[in-house]
């Protein structure tokens, strides 16, 4: 089952269960996907977004909410921070399991070997391989640091 179908099925289930918080988050996900679809069609891609694109959208949504929750906590707005965390849980239910630190290190080492990277100038190729294989499974900001550490 593709990502769109999974999200639509979850949306229908949330409507039936009258789960307002989950329904609201699922609608936000759907809107983000449709926005990206429209942009893709404008760029000449008539098929819209792929499952990999959807995983990227979901990953970005999680990061946005983590940052918002942090800001709300700093501003002593704990109820809003909790709302953001609840949205994160809903979004993460559609993401594959995140790689552990050791698994991410191993994936970086494997990507370096695959690309034959020998210096920091090869970082772009290594990151391209990681993004093609591990979208939604690893934090690419942290992965960039791992690549630099292993190449530098």
- Which band of pLDDT confidence, cut at 50, 70 and 90, is reported for residue 27? very high
Structure tokens at 7: 């999200």
77: left (phi over 0), alpha (psi -120 to 50) or beta: beta
Cα-Cα-Cα-Cα torsion 70, 76, 78, 79, nearest 10 degrees, comes to -120
pLDDT for position 151:
81
Of the candidates 53, 56, 37, the one whose C-alpha atom is nearest the C-alpha of residue 45 is: 37
Is the confidence at residue 152, as pLDDT, over 80? Answer: no
* DSSP-assigned letters across all residues of 88-114: HHHHHTTSPPPPPHHHHHHHHHHHHHH
HEC letters along 29-77? HHHHHHHHHHHHHHCCCCCCCCHHHHHHHHHHHHHHHHHHHHHHHHCCC
Domain 101-151 top-level CATH class: mainly alpha
Comparing 50 with 88, the larger pLDDT belongs to: 88
Stretch(es) of the chain classified as CATH 1.10.10.410 = 101-151
Stretch(es) of the chain classified as CATH 1.10.1510.10 = 3-92
Q: What is the mean pLDDT of residues 52-70?
A: 90
pTM tops 0.85: no
User: Which of the listed CATH numbers 1.10.1510.10, 1.10.3720.10, 1.20.120.350, 3.30.450.40 matches domain 3-92?
Assistant: 1.10.1510.10
Our CA angle for 117, 123, 128, nearest 5°, is 100
d(CA 53, CA 33): 9
d(CA 39, CA 124): 25
Q: What is the mean pLDDT of residues 23-37?
A: 94
């Amino acid at each position: 089952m593709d990502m769109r179908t999974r999200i639509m099925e979850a949306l229908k289930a949330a409507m039936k269960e009258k789960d307002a918080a989950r329904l609201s988050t699922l609608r936000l996900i759907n809107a983000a996907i449709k926005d990206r679809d429209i942009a893709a069609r404008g760029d000449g891609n008539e098929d819209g977004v792929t499952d990999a694109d959807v995983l990227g959208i979901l990953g970005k949504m999680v990061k946005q909410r983590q940052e918002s929750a942090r800001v709300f906590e700093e501003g002593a707005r704990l109820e809003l921070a909790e709302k953001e965390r609840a949205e994160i849980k809903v979004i993460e239910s559609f993401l594959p399991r995140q790689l552990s630190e050791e698994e991410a290190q191993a994936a970086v080492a494997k990507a370096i070997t695959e690309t034959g990277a020998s210096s920091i100038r090869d970082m772009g190729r290594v990151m391209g391989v990681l993004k093609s294989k591990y979208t939604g499974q690893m934090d690419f900001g942290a992965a960039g640091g791992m690549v630099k550490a292993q190449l530098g």
